Amino acid sequence: MKQFYYLLLLCILSTGCVSTSKYTSFVNEQAKAVVTPPQHQEWLTVNLPAAGAGSNKATRVKGYFIPAILYFSWNNTIACELDPQIAATYIRKGIYKAADSLQLKNHLGDKKLVINLQQVPGQFVYENKGQLFNLIFFHISSGEQKITPQPIAMQATYELKLNDGLVVQGSGNIPNTETQTTSGWLSAKRLTWVHLDNFKTEAERMGAQLVKEIIARHNETSMH
């Protein structure tokens, strides 16, 4: 019986009882490696949001732990917002990769493309909650640990210029298709890192989708 309680306490402490400062450190440790931007090309410039570099932020939404002889209950809910500059860097990386793979330069010819990222995703909620009833002959328990992304779209404006004259001006609104990340056994740190890896993939996809829309718009305009 004692071993059971020790195991329960260890699981709760390693996944549920995480402070906002500790959780921010998880995010900082994983996100800092993506700050290095790709090199600008003469014909393609991607500007990050106007807001200057800030920091990753974590705010506790709910937090409690109720230990009792017959009943345990806990809830640790933290809302997190990535530094928009870091989130935008993921998207910019996707734009440059797509520009290369889709041969964007060949579509544009001598035109220059300027993309201005205005709104980027990067907000999510970490939640670890559960309860356990300790009855005489058996235990009843339920719990979940998950990260739920906020469905914030990526918004951008762009301009195509030829000899400093405006050729095409437009905007893009790319929906966010992130899905919930769940795990009952990963640590809060590992689960957060899995989510951030998924977010990086989604952000790069959004950047690539914007490039595809710009190519389609340019080709349509060129036909008229």
> What average pLDDT does the segment 104-130 reach?
93
> How far, in Å, CA of 90 to CA of 35, rounded?
8
Confidence band (pLDDT; 50, 70, 90) for 34?
low
> How many CA within 13 A on the CB side of residue 23?
26
Confidence band (pLDDT; 50, 70, 90) for 7?
very low
What pLDDT score does 16 carry? 52
Residue 101 structure tokens: 């793979």
Whole-angstrom CA distances from 20 to 17, 70, 80, 201, 215 are 10, 29, 9, 25, 43
Contact 165, 142 (CB under 8 A): no
What pLDDT score does 22 carry? 93
What pLDDT score does 168 carry? 83
Phi/psi at 63 (5° precision)? -160, 120
Cα 1 to chain centroid, rounded: 41
Contact 99, 213 (CB under 8 A): no
What pLDDT score does 165 carry? 81
Query: Mean pLDDT score of the chain, rounded to an integer?
Result: 84
- Token pair 């920091």: residue: 55
> How far, in Å, CA of 192 to CA of 196, rounded?
6
Residue that wins the pLDDT comparison between 222 and 48: 48
Residue that wins the pLDDT comparison between 28 and 185: 28
Smallest Cα–Cα separation from 213: which of 173, 161, 165? 173
> What average pLDDT does the segment 167-194 reach?
92
> How far, in Å, CA of 130 to CA of 17, rounded?
12
Contact 80, 196 (CB under 8 A): no
Q: Is pLDDT above 90 for 73?
A: no
The full set of domain ranges for the chain reads: 2-222
Confidence band (pLDDT; 50, 70, 90) for 62?
confident
Which of 45-49, 67-71, 119-123 bottoms out in mean pLDDT, i.e. has the lowest?
67-71
Confidence band (pLDDT; 50, 70, 90) for 132?
confident
Q: Is pLDDT above 60 for 41?
A: yes
What pLDDT score does 47 carry? 92
Residue 96 structure tokens: 């440059």
SS3 state of residue 85? helix
What pLDDT score does 144 carry? 85
> How far, in Å, CA of 102 to CA of 97, rounded?
9
What pLDDT score does 3 carry? 45
> What average pLDDT does the segment 146-156 reach?
96
Contact 137, 181 (CB under 8 A): no
Q: pLDDT per residue over 156-172, tens digit each?
A: 999 999 887 878 899 99
Q: Is pLDDT above 50 for 1?
A: no
